[in-house]
Structure 1
Amino acid sequence: MYSLRQWWKFAKQINHQYNVSILRMLLENIVLYCFRGVGPRYYFEAQIWQPQLNWHDKLSYSDSRGYKTLLAELNPPAYRKISQHKVVEKAVLQLNGIPVAPFIGFFHPSRGIEHNGQTLNNRQTLHKLLSAHNGQRIVFKLVEGWGGHGMSVIIPLEVNHQLQIKDVKLNTFSAFDVWFSQLTVPQDGLVLEEYVEQHSQMARLNPDSVNTLRVWVKLVNNIPQIVGTIVRIGRAGSLVDNASQGGFIARVVQDTGIIDQAMSCDIVPVVYQTHPDSGIKLSGTEIPFWHESMSLAKRALLAFPEMKFTGLDIAITADGPLVIELNLEPDKVTARNFGKSLKQLLDVNAN
């Protein structure tokens, strides 16, 4: 339950920063809750309080159930599992000639397999695989993880004929046997990928994380269209750029691929002119391979049967963009960066 104290806190903040009447926000919130089920939190998160929105625009917003209904129309639930499983998703993308982070293996006690078809299901086979990648960064991911949860990056190193494992995040070294004894393997296994070395322009935003594009794409009359794009940027010391791990976002001018404004992912965002840790200027930064990235996003959506909408993550290397993963139910709050309600953005009958 959203407390009156929380509502008052955010209303005062918006009143101070944007000079929007608190009484106006209260009346709007009451009307939207009564007629559209929009609660106080989403009223602030989606920035429905903006004065430039007329009542037709404001009433096009709805609660989470409305978003679920839209998604059910766009992406039939029976087909969503194809993209939720990272091994299957990667296979479908590669089959369609779409570049992805190179697959090393799938570690699982019964189904485990390397990229070359060799078994990868126990301590011995994993030791052999990691020994063959001496000195290389390897990413371990949950098969159906999200938000960077459960991800780790290691570097296997042969030291005096013994395999050592460096945990990149913790900057610690362990003998392989010690590391393996502490490795948590979920029931559905782990995906192993090569670490993506990002383009120098993207690394400039934050060198510790792979900073990705989150691109919303929808299918209209069988033609993919870009709904909008943001850049996700990590914080110093973080391996991931996800908001749930402390990252923030930057809005992009869609026609040019130039960063317009960076901000936190708070309910009432904090605007950044520079990176809050490094001080690097963000506004005006040009995203490399911009048009190639937009083209890749469209192709990726077309690779999955019956799918009409996705929010996908794209990393950009020195050689061009590649797909990290698709999200068939991306966080609805991202829509606030595209200036319209979810209904307005995702209506396939609208251009």
Structure 2
Amino acid sequence: MNRLKVFLKHPNKKSFPKMIKEVIILMIKKREIPFYYFKYLYRKNVTNYLDYVSFKEQLLLVGHRSLHNPDYVALINNKLYFALFCERISIKTPKLISYNLGSNFFFNNEVVKITDKEKLVDFFEVLFDKNKIDALFFRPPSDYGGKGCFKITKEDIENNLDGLYQNLVNGNFVHTKVVKQHDDINKIHSKSVNTLRIISLLTLEGHIEIISAFIRFGVGDSVVDNATSGGFFVGINLEDGTLQPIGHYLSQHGGEEITEHPDSGYKFEGFKIPYYKEACDLVLDTAKIIPDGLIGWDVAITSNGPVIIETNAEPHIPISNITSGGLLKNKHVKNIVEALKKQS
């Protein structure tokens, strides 16, 4: 209903005859009912609507067996597996401090059975002291979109755990050192680590290309930046790492377009991502080690360079569609989609 309201109230809609014509053309060309048209393509600024990946094409890209190896997908989509993998081969990623599977907490090759809140407080006090850190970030291994994430600080452990104890001991979480974000990005928003989503594609020719990049920003006091959790996203120009002038909320969160961060008032246009080239190089180098066909890489920028936070085998194609002005403009994406259609 929220998406429908956004569509009906949007001030920059195409005329209804034009929308009807485009929907009919999409039905014929794409061979599906283009419900996705009413999320974004109805806007006047979208003139090349045929260049946008359709829903069926998206399913091919994220699920086709010839593009995704199940063993790679299991590694990519599980934050615990990925963190342990990165630790073994020294990929730049936030340090894995500990993790838990239910009430079993793992740290320093030991397993601690947590039976009450006091024991959990003691566990984290030891962990903070031994690692000389003042905060931990928690993520469920298999959830996405920032769901279930939270932070615990050394100075306020007991209060943090008052409302989180049951959630922790009844769930599964990866506990990593909190990333200290680059000061330039903090100027835009400092309450969350605002990550780049860089998407790599293994082309038909067998080499890896970056086909899309955007940055997500949190809003308010949220510690997560994900657009699906109420944040917004801004496209990154692939050539030079500068931000596009307009940021976007997803339609389920109002679909608004903005030119500056709502909290800081910082304008996006012209802002250059620090260590952008290094972030792309890190993704390309790591994609050679995990050569799955399509991967979304979440990369944080610190004062010392980029670190990979996590990976996703389903990298939110609709957002990339918007920030790239239609993914099918990329010849490698177009060739892959056409090849997958022939195989299906």
Shorter-normalised TM-score: what interval?
A: 0.7 to 0.9
Structure 2 residue aligned with 1:316: 301
Distance of 1:180 and 1:287 partners within structure 2: 35
AA aligned to 1:25 is M
Of the structure 1 ranges 93-102 and 279-288, higher mean CA displacement relative to structure 2 is found in: 93-102
Task: Say if 1:311 and 1:328, in contact at 8 Å, map to a contact too.
Answer: yes
| Deviating more after overlay: 126-135 vs 277-286 | 126-135
| TM-score, with structure 2 as normaliser | 0.82
* Matching of residue 254 in structure 1 with residue 238 in structure 2: yes
Which runs of 5 or more structure 2 residues have no equivalent in the other structure?
338-344
| Cα separation, partners in 2 of 1:343 and 1:117, compared to 1, 3 Å | farther
- 1:69 equivalent to 2:53? Answer no
Aligned mates of 1:275, 1:51 — CA distance in 2: 24
- Find 1:103's aligned residue among 88, 96, 100: 96
| Residue equivalent to 1:192 | 175
- Cα distance in structure 2, aligned partners of 1:206 and 1:341: 28
Give 2:265's aligned amino acid.
G
Say whether 1:222 aligns with 2:206.
Answer: yes
**TM-score of the two chains, using structure 1 as the length reference:** 0.81
Partner of 1:128: 123
**8 Å CA contact 1:250, 1:262 repeated in 2:** yes
Select the residue among 326, 330, 333 that pairs with 1:346. Answer: 333
The question of whether the paired residues in 1 share the 8 Å contact of 2:199 and 2:210 is answered with: yes
Q: Deviations over 1:144-199 (max 9, x none)?
A: 12111111101133xxxxxx516xxxxxx26x6x5664343345x21110111100
Question: How many equivalent pairs are there?
Answer: 323
Residue of structure 2 in register with 1:169 after alignment: none
**Structure 1 CA distance, aligned partners of 2:217 and 2:54?**
29
Distance in 1 (alpha carbons) for counterparts of 2:128 and 2:21: 61
Out of 261, 271, 278, the position equivalent to 1:275 is 261
Shift of the 275–61 alpha-carbon distance from structure 1 to 2, 3 Å rule, reads closer
Name the structure with the higher helix share: 2
Letter in 1 for 2:277: H
Secondary structure, aligned partner of 1:52: coil
- What is the aligned partner in structure 2 of residue 10 from structure 1? 7
Take 1:204 and 1:330, find their aligned partners in 2: how far apart are those partners?
27
Helix, strand or coil for the counterpart of 1:297? helix
Deviation larger for 137-146 or 273-282: 273-282
One-letter amino acid of the structure 2 residue matched with residue 346 of structure 1: V
**Residues 120, 197 of structure 1: alpha-carbon distance in 2 compared, 3 angstrom cutoff:** farther
Matched, 1:117 2:117: no
Task: Flag structure 1 segments of 5+ consecutive residues without an equivalent.
Answer: 158-163, 167-172
**Bigger Cα displacement from structure 2, 131-140 vs 22-31:** 131-140
Matching residue's letter, 1:70? L
Structure 2 letter corresponding to 1:105: S
State the match for 2:280 in structure 1: 294
What residue number does 1:52 align with? Answer: 47
| Superposed counterparts of 1:72-83, under 5 Å | 72=64, 73-83=66-76
C-alpha offsets along residues 284-308 of structure 1, whole Å, 9 cap, x if unaligned?
111100100011111222222x511
Asked if the contact 1:76–1:307 (Cα under 8 Å) also holds between the matched residues in 2, the reply is: yes
SS in 1 for 2:128: coil
C-alpha separation in 1, matches of 2:333 and 2:200 = 9
The question of whether the paired residues in 1 share the 8 Å contact of 2:61 and 2:294 is answered with: no
The match for 2:342 is none
Q: Which has the higher contact order (CA 8 A, sep 6+)?
A: 2
Residue aligning to 2:21 = 27
Structure 2: distance between partners of 1:179 and 1:25: 49
Give me the whole-angstrom Cα distance separating, in 2, the residues matched to 1:342 and 1:78: 28
Offset, 1:340: 2.2
- Does the CA-based 8 Å contact 2:197-2:299 persist in structure 1? yes
Q: Residues of 2 paired with 1:85 and 1:112: CA distance?
A: 18
